[in-house]
């Protein structure tokens, strides 16, 4: 039987050493180092949170007494060691279920929304990239309701020829759009992170 090929670059190994669930933790850490978006005493929503590496980074920064919520269609292992992480297994398109869950937590809005969301791939580049746009448009819909005015959304985007279908709605809703490809992204990847600050 042929074993699946797993890329084990320095970020993969470092994630294991530091007990992060995935190498993607370093992407958020790079974004944080440049933009200083996350702060202590914040309430943060992470969409597309599995396996939970963004949640680990966020929980350490905001502090153990502040709300961190992770949503993903996949089940996330709840054993983080942080009492302030709350998890919902649900699709980002299920707004009513998301709204109902957040209401049970006693939260009206978040200070930051992050995402490392990715869709299952078809191998057809254009199709996969447009699926990424659709997921991020759904996150923008969530942000319209649950992001506190004046604060920030971080999106992971697979950039392709249809990227303006996402950029136009962002610019209509947000004051500033910054784009970054962290060094911890794989060189061959089309992914970028969009840092969106809401218009007041």
Between vectors from CA 110 to CA 158 and to CA 140, what angle results, nearest 5°? 35
Confidence (pTM): 0.90
How far is CA 10 from each of CA 75, 146, 182, rounded to the nearest angstrom? Answer: 27, 36, 14
156 is a catalytic site residue: yes
Q: Is the pLDDT of residue 12 over 70?
A: no
List the CATH code of the domain at 28-198. Answer: 3.40.50.150
pLDDT at position 64 = 87
The predicted-structure confidence for 46-79, as pLDDT tens digits, reads as follows 999 999 999 999 999 999 889 999 999 999 999 9
Query: Mean per-residue pLDDT for 166-188?
Result: 90
Average model confidence (pLDDT) across the chain: 89
The predicted-structure confidence for 83-128, as pLDDT tens digits, reads as follows 999 999 999 999 999 999 999 999 999 999 999 998 777 677 778 8
% of the chain at pLDDT higher than 90: 74
Q: Is the pLDDT of residue 5 over 50?
A: no
Of 14, 156, 171, 181, the catalytic one is 156
Q: Where are the chain's structural domains?
A: 28-198
The dihedral over CA atoms of 181, 187, 189, 191, expressed in degrees to the nearest 10, equals 0
């Amino acid at each position: 039987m042929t074993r699946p090929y797993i890329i084990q670059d320095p970020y993969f190994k470092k994630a294991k050493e530091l007990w992060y669930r995935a190498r993607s933790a370093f992407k958020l850490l790079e974004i944080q180092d440049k933009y200083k978006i996350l702060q202590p005493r914040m309430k943060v929503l992470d969409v597309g949170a599995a396996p939970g590496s963004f949640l680990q980074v966020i929980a350490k920064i905001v502090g153990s007494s502040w709300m961190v919520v992770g949503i993903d269609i996949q089940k996330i292992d709840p054993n983080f060691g942080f009492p302030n992480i709350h998890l919902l297994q649900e699709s980002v398109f299920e707004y009513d279920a998301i709204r109902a869950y957040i209401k049970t937590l006693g939260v009206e809005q978040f200070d930051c929304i992050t995402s490392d969301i990715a869709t299952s791939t078809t191998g057809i580049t254009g199709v996969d990239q447009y699926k990424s746009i659709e997921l991020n448009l759904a996150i923008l819909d969530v942000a319209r309701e649950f992001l506190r005015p004046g604060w920030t959304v971080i999106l992971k985007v697979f950039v392709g020829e249809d990227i303006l279908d996402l950029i136009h709605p962002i610019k209509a809703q947000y004051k500033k759009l910054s784009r970054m490809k962290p060094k911890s992204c794989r060189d061959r990847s089309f992914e970028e992170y969009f840092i969106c600050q809401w218009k007041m």
